[in-house]
Copies of this chain bind each other. A is one copy, B any other.
């Protein structure tokens, strides 16, 4: 028999939002009582072990329907071009999620100039390469600037929220961590220990080969896609009819769907493997997971484009393939991430309502109904997938921007709806997540910056390969390549100098932080002075004695 410790039980505490716990079978009354006390006192702490040991099935805060309604009204239900209520989002969901929405919004606005400049290339069918060169150069500098400026915007927000100078707490072992009980040399407490060499062996002997195998498989699938492409082209040329020209897009669309499926499958495998590597700290676990997923997704999504660009050297196919991949993946993501779960959710909601109405119990029906409803909602697994989506989108936009300037426009279009579908997802599809403080978007800043460095290289290479640029140097291909390489190095140097020259924090924040530091140092000084004077007060007796002697 499953027991639900209803929200009512903890509602008397000062701890908002309400938390609901779902127990496994046969849990004693004392355990429940103990647990209730733990939750009321120090929040999640200590409950995590019960979760992994299987006594508790899930713990989650309930949505606050009134506040949620208010948030939704200012956020996405009334469609209008306006900024998101980031502070309200932070109030309801916490800093980590608010930062994601802040980044999504900032990134969308930052892409608009690229989209606007890219549009005429499509409208007026500009095919001159000198124009593409201008676009690509603008793009490269712009992408550096927006990433640096984001750091400042982010510092602005997190300063306002008080998490910019957040002190790192001492990290407890993550819940899934297991090992032989021993003494931790740092804390001196008893806790499971797991030798580092065993973990290294698991990483290098199992995870690494597995990731390589997956990468190989991804390339294999890519080659199948190219076979399909050739087959479709052959069919079209043989028949020459109108409908087979549509067929040309089919392989790309199928490949885009396969890529999405592979990404999702690999994600589960990576999670399983990283968990099996048995990292002690949540942060180490996250870093290994992110590295695994990023490498695979990068190759899986962009390998075919690199192959078309630098091996087949077919710019027309590159443009077509890029467009299909970008648009298909965006549409798929919107459906799979938000709309489908929302629809299922609604269906389930209607069923529950009917059931509850059939019961016709007491006054608490609405709360009971809410608990039953939210219990079945999906759990939001963190901002990882959302950032990953943006990261891949940034790749599509920047890596081959000089071939397909329209990509930015599609990205902007997608992100305007993405804001709404992500908001819907957070508010209506998932359980309310525990709020987590954070000072920045962390490792994703590095990931986006790396992508923008890679895009300098690819764009320069693409421009150097174009027949129009080649026509300028008809005699010596070597001179052309040298010039391209020099320009590329200059651009890279400019990027690094820009990144170095733009301060990470706006001036007024720097001033405020300096003030804060000054005041805390002053306070420390005063505290020490007080201690000294107290010691002096105690001393006079002794010095009096000394004088007497």
B170 touches A521 (CB 8 A): yes
**CA of A186 to CA of B482, assembled, Å:** 52
8 Å CB contact of A481 from B482, B511, B517 = B482
Q: Which residues does chain B contribute within 8 Å of A489, judged by CB atoms?
A: 457
Q: Which residues does chain B contribute within 8 Å of A346, judged by CB atoms?
A: none
**Does A32 make an interface contact (CB < 8 A)?**
no
A170 touches B478 (CB 8 A): no
B477 touches A170 (CB 8 A): no
B518 touches A186 (CB 8 A): yes
Question: What are 23 A-B interface contacts by the 8 Å CB criterion?
Answer: A169-B521, A170-B517, A170-B518, A170-B521, A185-B511, A185-B515, A186-B511, A186-B514, A186-B515, A186-B518, A187-B515, A187-B518, A457-B489, A476-B477, A477-B477, A477-B478, A478-B478, A478-B480, A478-B481, A481-B481, A481-B482, A481-B485, A485-B485
Chain A residues bordering chain B, tally (CB within 8 A):
20
As for how many copies of this chain the complex holds, the number is 2
**CA of A480 to CA of B478, assembled, Å:** 9
Task: Give the contacts of A14-56 with B (CB-CB under 8 A).
Answer: none
- For the A-B complex with A170-B521, A187-B515, A481-B481 known, give 14 more contacts whose Cβ atoms are closer than 8 Å: A169-B521, A185-B515, A186-B511, A186-B515, A186-B518, A187-B518, A476-B477, A477-B478, A478-B478, A478-B480, A478-B481, A481-B482, A481-B485, A485-B485
**CA of A489 to CA of B456, assembled, Å:** 12
Question: From residue A171, how far is it (CB to closest CB) to chain B in Å?
Answer: 9
**CA of A521 to CA of B169, assembled, Å:** 8
Over the window 491-530 of chain A, the binary record of Cβ atoms lying under 8 Å from chain B Cβ atoms (1 yes, 0 no) is 0000000000000000000010011011001000000000
Question: From residue A420, how far is it (CB to closest CB) to chain B in Å?
Answer: 37
**CA of A485 to CA of B170, assembled, Å:** 46
Residue of B nearest to A185 (CB): B511
**CA of A476 to CA of B481, assembled, Å:** 12
**CA of A517 to CA of B480, assembled, Å:** 56
Task: Give the contacts of A173-202 with B (CB-CB under 8 A).
Answer: 185-187
